Amino acid sequence: METIVIDRKGARLSLDDRRLRVDFPDEARPWFAPLAAIERLVITARAELATNLLAALGAQGASVIVLSPRDHRRTALFLPPAGKDAGARLAQAKALLSPAFRLRCTKRIVRAKLAMQMRTLTRCGHGASARAARRSLARARTLLGAAATMDALRALEGGATRAYFAALAEAFPPQLGFSGRNRRPPRDPVNAVLSLGYTLLHADAVRAIHIAALDPMLGFYHAPEHGRESLACDLMEPLRPFVDAFVLALFRTGTLRKEHFGRQQDAVLLGKTGRARFYAAWDEAARPWRRLLGRLAQRFKRLLQEEAGC
């Protein structure tokens, strides 16, 4: 199974004898891909999509992700049929009403995230800032068990993550101007790519949750909020450092360089050549993360059912 990315304006996507057919306005011959080989279709430019193609992709369990051409925020997500276990969603809603369960669940999420941040800094970070950040992460993990409220947990995680990004910033080439996390709009090349990576990872988390018959809107660490798939935010939280290390490798190896980016007003945007390089590297790197998200969603489902006595 693979990811197909459509990043050319004016493309027309249709179904042709169990194949994806893509007609480009400046090419006489169409491009084809076997439908059975597609796990996700990512559309990042204005395109036309036939409804029978959408139905065929959904029937075989593929998803379609539509991103904004300008800043690559997700604007639409079409998912395969949801898991049929309605009891799982009932267990999820019931567990969400338990403050004690939310606290236990959140501690697991934060502990896993801190461990992955520590691992990333151990592999990629050097110098005094990295050593200080690792001490901050270790201290946060030690204090995690005694945290009695969600606010206390968020304070521990927030402080450790700020130290983590301060150390991680020193690992990137200085000409990129990366000094820490910012978004909406991203103001440097590193944040532009981090935002794109997190967006794609979040979509895969929503897909895994959907297949597990859970509700992506009902989160535990990330409380339910209008318009936010909070459980997907929960599920991807420990995997964010994987994206950070991936982005660092793209810049360290020269796969992405400063000249691959442009600026529109206050936003730094990844250009066409850079996007092609990013997606080629992303699809291979993200495969184990997608499998992990699937396992985490199923494990979380079992945890919820145990809590509900199902």
Residue 1 pLDDT > 80? no
Give per-residue burial for 34-71: e unless 16+ CB within 10 Å, then b.
ebeebbbbbbbbebebeeebbebbeeeebbbbbbeeeb
Q: Coil, strand or helix: which one is 68?
A: coil
Q: Residues of the chain with pLDDT > 70: what percent?
A: 98
Select from 304, 192, 211, 209 the least CA-distant residue to 257.
192
Domains and CATH numbers, the chain: 2-78 (3.100.10.20), 86-308 (1.20.120.920)
* The pLDDT of residue 199: 93
Instruction: Phi first, then psi: give them for residue 123, nearest 5 degrees.
Output: -85, -35
Read off the pLDDT of residues 251-275 as tens digits, 9 standing for 90 and up: 999 999 999 998 888 888 899 899 9
- Note the pLDDT tens digit of each residue in 219-241: 999 988 888 999 999 999 999 99
Q: How many angstroms separate the CA atoms of 282 and 280, rounded?
A: 6
DSSP string, 103-162: HHHHHHHHHHHHHHHHHHHHHH--HHHHHHHHHHHHHHHHHHTT--SHHHHHHHHHHHHH
Prior bond of 174 cis (ω within 30°): no
In this prediction, residue 205 carries a pLDDT of 96
First CA to last CA across the chain, in angstroms?
A: 34
Helices (H), 9-78: 51-59
d(CA 38, CA 21): 12
CA distance 57 to 61: 6
Mean pLDDT calculated for residue range 175-197: 89
Per residue in 32-46, pLDDT (tens digit) is 999 999 999 999 989
Q: Report DSSP state, residue 179.
A: -
**Predicted pLDDT of residue 310:** 56
Return mean pLDDT, the chain.
90
pTM exceeds 0.95, yes or no: no
Gap between the Cα atoms of 189 and 121, Å rounded: 20
The Cα 175–Cα 169 span in angstroms is 11
Q: Taking residues 13-32, what's their average pLDDT?
A: 91
As a whole number of angstroms, the distance between CA 283 and CA 101 comes to: 35
pLDDT over 90 at 115, yes or no = yes
- The pair phi, psi for residue 171, each rounded to 5°, is -85, -15
pLDDT at 74: 77
Which whole number is the average pLDDT over 248-253? 95
pLDDT at 11 > cutoff 90: yes
Sequence-ordered list of residues with C-beta below 8 angstroms from that of 226, at least 6 positions apart, any chain: none
Cα distances from 259 to residues 195, 223, 234, in angstroms, run: 18, 39, 34
**Beta bridge pairs of residue 270:** 261
pLDDT at 73: 77
Which residue is listed with tokens 């991680």?
168
User: Do residues 281 and 273 lie in contact, with contact meaning Cβ atoms separated by under 8 Å?
Assistant: no
Q: What is the pLDDT of residue 53?
A: 93
Question: What is the pLDDT, as a whole number, of residue 50?
Answer: 93
Reported as a single tens digit per residue, the pLDDT across 275-292 is 999 999 998 999 999 999
pLDDT band per the 50, 70, 90 thresholds, residue 183? confident
d(CA 12, CA 295): 35
- 143-171 confidence digits (pLDDT tens): 998 889 999 999 999 999 999 999 999 99
Tally the C-alpha atoms within 13 A of residue 145's C-alpha that lie toward its C-beta. Answer: 2
